[in-house]
Amino acid sequence: MNSTRRFLVNIALVLIIGIAFGALAFADSDPLPSWNDGPTRKAILDFVETTTDSLSAGFVPEPERIATFDNDGTLWTEHPMYTQLTFALDRVKLLAPEHPDWKTQQPFKAVLDNDMKALAAAGEHGLVELVMATHAGMSTADFETIVTEWYATARHPRFKRPYTELAYKPMVELLEYLRANGFKTFITSGGGVEFMRPITQEVYGIPPEQVVGSTIETKYEVVDGRPVLTRLPKIDFIDDKAGKPVGINKFIGRRPIAAFGNSAGDREMLEWTGAGDGPRLKVLVFHDDAEREYAYGPANGLPDSPFGTFPQSLMDEAQEKGWVVISMKGDWKQIFSSAQ
Amino acid sequence: MNSTRRFLVNIALVLIIGIAFGALAFADSDPLPSWNDGPTRKAILDFVETTTDSLSAGFVPEPERIATFDNDGTLWTEHPMYTQLTFALDRVKLLAPEHPDWKTQQPFKAVLDNDMKALAAAGEHGLVELVMATHAGMSTADFETIVTEWYATARHPRFKRPYTELAYKPMVELLEYLRANGFKTFITSGGGVEFMRPITQEVYGIPPEQVVGSTIETKYEVVDGRPVLTRLPKIDFIDDKAGKPVGINKFIGRRPIAAFGNSAGDREMLEWTGAGDGPRLKVLVFHDDAEREYAYGPANGLPDSPFGTFPQSLMDEAQEKGWVVISMKGDWKQIFSSAQ
């Protein structure tokens, strides 16, 4: 009996010490270690405290803690061009031998000649043509393989690293911090869902079913006795600008209480998020760090970018409505996970 | 010190006894109490055991345990007509005073005259017209209010109960059992998402973001300074037949490992589910219990139903491919939660 008692005492001690150390470790750990102290960090911490404190007037029950994040420029680098556009251009070059007509036909000629000016001149219509020629005509399974292989080999022209390593460390910390506080995190991007889903779990901890984005049409077919979904060269849905609240409503069916973007494409998502009752966090990532990443957009006094625009009117709206604006230069200790 | 030691011993004892009782209670509880013993129940239990046992060859990691459920006729009663169609007809009658032309115009005249034959003759085109006239033209928030109020007052013509009480108890148990085993449960219905989302958490424990269904287009607008999503009289997506795998791919982005349906509208979803590697559970609910619910469809030797058809060809495919067919009469001890 004495040895049993000692055994039980030991178990109890181990449990109590474990709990005490765990509590210490928890109290001690900074959930946002890559963020500098200041009003931006404080606004985020205050919002999470308010919405998760059951005694607070701003308490939000766990199932309603929906947080939506734009991807390009908000969670990872979008310069010098969207990752998905780089993928499309790489595929044009890869497929060119099968399409001799592309040598003389725009926008393909511009891609093969590396003529970015002519490509920009092809406009949105040209972009859609590029996407259709490179993203459709195969099964969803084959496209997933193509995308996965591309991510494994492609390197960013400036940072010389895989694109999956160009996620912003402070934002990944923020995603984890929100989830640890009962938030469900979603991506709501103008990018194609099937270009993002293969990597969002690994890079952001976000599973495929929580990725909302643009879609092209697919068709169910039985090929050689096996069902496949074939990707058709037809746009199904563009998840950008006024399409973002539409996509949120269609795919998620709840209004977010927190939304994060970085461009005019996210304006309506932030407005829609802000129009709900109770506390709301609306955040824009402002690219003002040319040294560690990029600085661009009219609100920086810099030329407009063909993609990822942050116009002065967006900055004005942010200030008028009290949206939080993250200065990458001032608010972030570190940009990427690996050392710069 | 002696009292401290006694205190620690007590804590340890309470913990150990608690764990032991918890284990006993768990081992003792039947996860599917409304299911009769037999091959159907066994097939479900075996599948869950195989896919959740980390030592089994058929083990499936938790994030990939996606289970999709049709709604009408699979999770709740779809006779004498789809709940959503009943809602549409009720709304036509409610809105009729504002539309004097409906008295002479089909399919509205058929509804106002309670002429189900003329309504059926209006076919799919007539149905779409009814849906557009009753489901569009308001904001998403107003539609949610309309739907919620309708559920609160409408009663099923035969069972005289709210439609939300006509969920099948054995299927609700199955949903809970799957979730307790790390499955993520989704609805994949031909019905409108915004007709289901207001009640799926309460009735099935499924949150809005896990409801896939048919959608109509919405438009983001700022009305009196406030952003709203306005429902447009235009079909966006029909989540039925070959549309079900398309919807699963678009909204969920993973292939289910278990799928449940009850009609020809679910055939492609079950085929798509079955075409994946590893263990797959494909299940059809067969309505053969005229006494406690309904019996219908060619596979019952009964006239074809205008909705919820179970043709002989579906039964043949189920037998050929080893799909599980639930006999409501034989496999279920009880149909609804309240006593029959």
Q: Which ipTM score applies to this complex? A: 0.91
Residue B61 makes CB contacts below 8 A (sequence gap 6+) with none
User: What's at B177, amino acid-wise?
Assistant: Y
Which stretches of chain A sit within 8 Å of chain B by CB?
A: 5, 8-9, 11-13, 15-16, 63, 66, 140, 184, 193-194, 197, 201, 207-211, 215, 218-220, 222, 226-227, 229, 236, 242-243, 245-246, 249-254, 268, 271-272, 275
d(CA A102, CA A88): 14
CB atoms B218 and A275 under 8 Å: no
The band of B120, judged by pLDDT with boundaries at 50, 70 and 90, is confident
Please state, for a pLDDT cut of 70, what percent of chain B lies above it: 90
Which DSSP state fits B240? S
Using one digit for the tens of pLDDT, what is the confidence trace for B224-251? 999 999 999 999 999 999 999 999 999 9
Global pTM value: 0.91
The residue among A229, A267, A321 with the most chain B CBs within 10 A of its CB, best to mutate, is A229
Using one digit for the tens of pLDDT, what is the confidence trace for B155-189? 999 999 999 999 999 999 999 999 999 999 999 99
pLDDT confidence of residue A340? 46
Sheet strands (E) in B120-210: 184-192
Residue B212 makes CB contacts below 8 A (sequence gap 6+) with B68, B186, B187, B188, B189, B193, B239, B247, B248, B251, B252
B9, B140, B249 member nearest A218 (Cβ) = B249
Phi, psi angles (nearest 5°) of residue B111? -65, -45
d(CA A179, CA A67): 9
pLDDT confidence of residue B306? 64
Phi, psi angles (nearest 5°) of residue B316? -60, -45
Does residue B26 surpass a pLDDT of 90? no
d(CA B120, CA B112): 14
The band of A17, judged by pLDDT with boundaries at 50, 70 and 90, is low
d(CA B133, CA B250): 27
The band of B340, judged by pLDDT with boundaries at 50, 70 and 90, is very low
CB atoms B220 and A246 under 8 Å: yes
Q: Token digits for B19?
A: 């764990």
pLDDT: is A193 or B339 the higher one? Answer: A193
**What number is the average pLDDT over the span A165-190?**
98
CB atoms A218 and B194 under 8 Å: no
Closest Cα partner for B86 from B148, B160, B151, B168?
A: B151
Which is it for strands B184-192 and B66-69: parallel, antiparallel or unpaired?
parallel
The band of B338, judged by pLDDT with boundaries at 50, 70 and 90, is confident
The band of A132, judged by pLDDT with boundaries at 50, 70 and 90, is very high
The neighbouring-strand residues paired with B24 are: none
B57 three-class SS: coil
Q: Do A287 and A76 touch, CB atoms closer than 8 A?
A: no
From A220's Cα to the closest Cα of chain B, the distance in A is: 6
pLDDT confidence of residue B123? 85
Give the alpha-carbon dihedral of B261, B266, B270, B271, to 10 degrees: 160
A221 three-class SS: strand
Does residue B16 surpass a pLDDT of 70? no
The neighbouring-strand residues paired with B229 are: B220
d(CA A113, CA A98): 17
Using one digit for the tens of pLDDT, what is the confidence trace for B144-155? 999 999 999 999
pLDDT confidence of residue B14? 63
d(CA A317, CA A323): 8
**What number is the average pLDDT over the span B300-305?**
82
User: What's at B145, amino acid-wise?
Assistant: T
B70 three-class SS: coil
